[in-house]
A and B are shown apart, each in its own frame.
Chain A
Amino acid sequence: MRRYLLNRLWQSAVTLVLATIVVFAGVRALPGDPALALAGEDRDPESLRAIREQYGLDQSWLVQFWQFVSHAARGDLGQSIRTGTSVRSMIVSALPVTIELSVLAILIASVIGVGTGVIAAVRRGRPAEWAANALALLGLSVPHFWLGLMAILYLSVALGLFPASGFVPFFTNPVANLHHLILPALILGTGLSAVIMRQTRSSMLDALSADYIRTAEAKGLSPKAVVGKHALRNSLIVVVTIVGLQLGALISGAVVTERIFALPGFGKLTVDAVFQRDYPVIQAVVLVTATAYIVINLLVDLLYSVIDPRIRVRGEA
């Protein structure tokens, strides 16, 4: 276990360093002088010199890289060239929205995915399985941003069931906060729930044909007890695995969902920064996303090895 942990930590550290190099190199791959890009509209030679000095653009790239890393490590991600606010404070205010949206989406997707997956496995060959399979296939195929548009058009605008856009912080008004986020979270969770459903179904089918289940049934345990125990045990592993595998899709999905529902989150920050050519913000957003991805994946893997002992053994071999 300890060796697996150290190995996994080492891998994550290497990936993180590589990711930082990619982001660093990416900004320097911009056409033209990076100082011009970082300065935006401001072409004043004085401020260009200040920027060159601030980012050390007159130094060798090794020194530049070191400055970039040490600034980032201290949480100094530069200033927006549009608003002048610190990129760090922009991210700190946007991140909670995205985290809440994603956690809600994972919760909703888990409930729907595990529920329909168990039904499909237990009701094999009956209409319920067919319906659950069809639903999963639809969930995988529907462009969820379009589903969001349709939900706004028909549920929010026509029926007035949900607010079409906007955000209320949780601590200001928890009820209004959930009312604003439930529809976006449901939309963001569609694809995820389809993947969870399929995986739950197939792992349940495997489990139901296993010897120990036959033993449990032969022993006289009720089908409900057998399924219930296995549904719960397996579904936890399935959800953790899928969330780890689908994390990238979830982050990408959150960006689009925030755009549609006008949520002031990380995704909106990202897209706005591209259109405004706000390079310090783009650089920071990409770096933060990559770091978050690596850290969350590490946690998922560790959690996974805690839940499923087989992984531990394999990791050590």
Chain B
Amino acid sequence: MAVAEVTEAVPTAPLRSNRRRVVRRILHNPLALTGLAVLAIAVILAVFANWLAPHEPTQTHLDRAFAPPGTAGYLLGTDDLGRDVLSRIMFGLRASLHVGVLAVAFSLVVGVPLGLIAGYFRTVDALISRLTDLVLAFPFLILAVGLAAIRGASLGNAAIAIGIAQIPGMIRIVRSETLRIKSLDFVAAAIVEGASDAWVLGRHIFPNAGSAIIVQATVGIPAAILGEAVLSFLGLGIQPPAPSLGTMLADAQQFASRAPWAAVMPGVAIMLLTLAFNIVGDSLRDALDPKASRR
């Protein structure tokens, strides 16, 4: 059983030391720490919006319409209906994160198994490649347009459209990782030893493709958040009066010269959120890349 011991030891040992090295690299990178801190704040604001928000996000105060930022009780000002911009941003962040996580989860659930299968079994590779080409032929906005036309515009449908659009990328990453790992000696050894396909895929290939999958997911979330903002801005995503950063911008467009803060603040919120995700994603990729120290 010497071979089995080798196959057990090779994939796990470097992974464990790898994890420690990754954490150390991220903790020593001030930019990554800033990104993580911004993300933590955003998540706290979004999750505890019910308690933290100074006002109800949909409550109108018509006598306080167009209050500039800094007005007592309205830190970031109010919009045309006197709704508190800060409270709406907090609930908007919740919607953004919700769609971001939902869409990426969807692309993971569909994309990872398909990517593993495409990379491992040559016979179905061509079929799956044609299917990814097919999905790619419908740009995400066109997909969302189609879904909105068929099923109506909503948060769930926006997440599905964005998730579908992210599946091809996920399949490609997982497929190429599978192809790479499959050609490594310890996998060949396991196959020679008579390990079943399911065992090789689940025990050897999937865990070793993990870091690539994590990086892809981290990159997918900000893309999904931007996608949700675009869809809601166009009226194809979250429907008013439910607060979303995209619908806030669409509303603010009507009175942007009168109350520029209502158009500036939600955009800054989206940018900070996606920037933080992108910084963390980049740092994670650099930390996971063994060649990164060269760069």
Say whether A and B bind each other: yes
Interface residues of A in 238-264 (CB under 8 A from B): 247-249, 251-252, 255-256, 259-260
How many A-B residue pairs lie within 8 Å, measured between CB atoms?
Answer: 136
B278 adjacent to A252 (CB under 8 Å): no
Closest Cβ neighbor of A251 among chain B residues: B139
Interface readout for B244-257 with A: 1 if CB under 8 Å, 0 if not? Answer: 00000100110011
A286 adjacent to B142 (CB under 8 Å): yes
B150 adjacent to A15 (CB under 8 Å): no
B271 adjacent to A290 (CB under 8 Å): no
The verdict on A140 contacting chain B, using a C-beta distance below 8 Å, is: yes
Q: Please count how many residues in chain B sit with their CB below 8 Å of the partner chain's CB atoms.
A: 43
The verdict on A221 contacting chain B, using a C-beta distance below 8 Å, is: no
Q: Please count how many residues in chain A sit with their CB below 8 Å of the partner chain's CB atoms.
A: 50
A138 to B278, CA, bound (A): 9
Which residues of chain B are within 8 angstroms of A260 by Cβ–Cβ distance? 253
B150 adjacent to A153 (CB under 8 Å): no
The verdict on A62 contacting chain B, using a C-beta distance below 8 Å, is: no
A145 adjacent to B249 (CB under 8 Å): yes
A265 to B139, CA, bound (A): 17
Which residues of chain A are within 8 angstroms of B256 by Cβ–Cβ distance? 149, 152-153, 157
Interface readout for A260-286 with B: 1 if CB under 8 Å, 0 if not? Answer: 100000000011001101010010011
- Whole-angstrom distance between the Cβ of A299 and the nearest chain B Cβ: 14
Which residues of chain A are within 8 angstroms of B226 by Cβ–Cβ distance? 143
Closest Cβ neighbor of A290 among chain B residues: B137
B236 adjacent to A146 (CB under 8 Å): no
Which residues of chain B are within 8 angstroms of A138 by Cβ–Cβ distance? 271, 275
The verdict on A18 contacting chain B, using a C-beta distance below 8 Å, is: yes
Interface residues of B (CB under 8 A from A): 130, 133-134, 136-142, 145-146, 148-150, 165, 222, 226, 229-230, 233-236, 249, 252-253, 256-257, 260, 263-264, 266-267, 270-271, 274-275, 277-279, 282, 295
| Shortest beta-carbon contacts, A-B, top 9 | A146-B267, A252-B141, A248-B139, A141-B275, A141-B274, A251-B139, A290-B137, A15-B133, A18-B134
Interface residues of A (CB under 8 A from B): 11, 14-16, 18-19, 22, 26, 29-31, 137-138, 140-143, 145-147, 149-150, 152-153, 157-158, 205, 247-249, 251-252, 255-256, 259-260, 270-271, 274-275, 277, 279, 282, 285-286, 289-290, 293-294, 297
